[in-house]
């Protein structure tokens, strides 16, 4: 791994967090051979994370994150220069151990399948606004058509100050990798 940033004091072993992230980094490097992540390690909460590159023309970029031996997350954040109703309110998908009956290898397999989809296919994130909610849903476009990515987020609250209630906005991103790769 090229660069590592350690966040705050904690009891976690940085080497253990790097090892936990290494399988995911290898999946990314299969599709992006020159990719060297800037790994962030949170020793207090035993989390690692790194950003994927932002493709040319993308509205957003993805961050991959994991808890030591457990939960995995995919997050989307708007690319610089784009305005949203709330830059903090954007899509994320979490895979939790409880959903996999504490089977960390199955959780990681599903997470890596999702990471491969993010790398190989165009993606889109749809924002829907209502009077009482704001929600986001993400999909990737495979040969079978648009497929849902696990996760999504909805925010409950009165829609005061949120213009265009009932509207839908679509953010898009081209694939990160060449489809001819594995």
Q: What angle do CA 164, 166, 169 make, to 5 degrees?
A: 70
The single-letter DSSP state of residue 59 is: S
- The per-residue pLDDT for 106 is 92
Residues with Cβ within 8 Å of residue 35, at least 6 apart in sequence: 25, 28, 29, 52, 53
What does the pLDDT read at residue 107?
A: 92
Phi, psi at 30, each rounded to 5°: -60, -35
Residues 128-165: pLDDT tens digits?
877 677 778 899 999 999 999 987 666 555 555 555 55
**Which residues make beta-bridge pairs with 170?**
126
> How buried is residue 50: exposed, middle or buried, by Cβ count under 10 Å (0-12/13-18/19+)?
buried
Q: What is the pLDDT of residue 169?
A: 85
pLDDT tens digits along 22-70: 999 999 999 999 999 999 998 888 899 999 999 999 999 999 999 988 8
Contact 159, 132 (CB under 8 A): yes
What was the pLDDT predicted at 85? 47
Q: Say if CB 43 and CB 9 are below 8 A apart.
A: yes
Measured CA to CA, the distance from residue 147 to residue 56 in angstroms comes to 22
| pLDDT value for 124 | 95
For 62-120, how does the pLDDT look when each residue is reduced to its tens digit (9 = 90+)? 999 999 888 999 999 888 765 554 445 578 888 888 888 888 899 999 999 999 999 99
Among candidates 84, 89, 55, 35, which has minimal Cα distance to 173?
Answer: 55
């Amino acid at each position: 791994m090229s660069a590592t940033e350690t966040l705050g004091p904690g009891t976690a072993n940085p080497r253990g967090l790097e090892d936990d992230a290494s399988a995911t980094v290898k999946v990314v490097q299969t599709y992006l051979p020159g990719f060297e992540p800037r790994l962030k390690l949170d020793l207090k909460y035993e989390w690692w994370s790194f950003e994927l590159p932002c493709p040319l023309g993308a509205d957003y970029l993805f961050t991959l994150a994991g808890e030591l031996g457990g939960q995995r997350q995919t997050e989307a954040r708007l690319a610089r220069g784009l305005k949203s109703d709330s830059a903090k309110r954007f899509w994320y998908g979490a895979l939790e151990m409880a959903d996999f009956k504490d089977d960390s290898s199955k959780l990681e397999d599903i997470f890596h399948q999702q990471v491969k989809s993010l790398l190989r296919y165009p993606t889109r994130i749809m924002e829907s606004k209502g009077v009482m909610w704001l929600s986001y849903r993400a999909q990737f476009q495979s040969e079978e058509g648009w497929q849902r990515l696990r996760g999504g987020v909805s925010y409950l609250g009165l829609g005061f100050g949120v213009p265009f209630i009932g509207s839908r906005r679509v953010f898009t991103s081209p694939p990160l990798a060449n489809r001819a790769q594995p």
